[in-house]
Amino acid sequence: MSDGAFRDVWEQRAEDWVRWARSRELDFGFWELNLPAMLELLPAPGRLTLDVACGEGRLSRELARLGHRVIGIDSSPSLLAAAREVSPDAELLLADAGAIPLDDGAADLAVASMALMTVDDLRAVVGEVARVLAPGGRLLITLLHPVDTWGDAGGSYFEETAFDNEVVRAAGRMTFRDAHRPLAAYFRALEDAGFAIERFREPEPDEDYFRRHPDAERLRGRPFLLHLRAVLTSEP
């Protein structure tokens, strides 16, 4: 995938994303399914938590509320400006996730929430996260499941492909730029960076979720989200 395939598009769509991300009516999948399941895997606060591709800051705010000292990093000036409007004292860095301006071993936890399918160079980002984590540090990842992105991207499951996906709700719509990558691409990037996977989950909506959100019916019986937690066990 070409350099900037995601960075530039997400900057262009920043206003739409802020509106979507902050609405529990529009992004009910995050607020009612993704976030609660992710918090079940969240380690206790330590010295420093890095929010990778923090966007408009919704996860950074949740982490801070739970007692984490958080630094958020994102390559979109518009999204970081939106984050600062809500949290003027937040620690936010404008930088690419493949070149994080932190010292080696500075953090003991990194969280990449729905982020790794929106980066241009997966291996560079995972390797850079490994660099800024101390030995024994953890990386918590949430993703669209590769089975789900394959259905939207089409083509070969094994081919890495950037694609647009428009999601329409009664209250609004959002066009996402995501990547389909096979599961092995994520696992190999983690392996090569020195991570070992210690938790793996595929969150599933319950019947109450489907009753509240009939337009989520397409998710019934198919994997939609993938959550995993990895520990840094060795240098790459």
Tokens of 60: 């950074």
User: Smallest Cα–Cα separation from 111: which of 208, 46, 191?
Assistant: 46
C-alpha triplet 111, 98, 66: angle, nearest 5°: 20
Residues of the chain with pLDDT under 70: 1-4, 235-236
Q: For 67-114, how does the pLDDT look when each residue is reduced to its tens digit (9 = 90+)?
A: 999 999 999 999 999 999 999 999 999 999 999 999 999 999 999 999
pLDDT of residue 1: 57
Structural domains of the chain, with CATH: 7-232 (3.40.50.150)
pLDDT of residue 235: 60
pLDDT of residue 215: 85
Please name the residues in contact with 212: beta carbons below 8 A apart, sequence gap of 6 or more: 28, 32
pLDDT of residue 236: 52
pLDDT of residue 218: 85
Beta bridge pairs of residue 179: 162
The pTM of this model reads 0.94
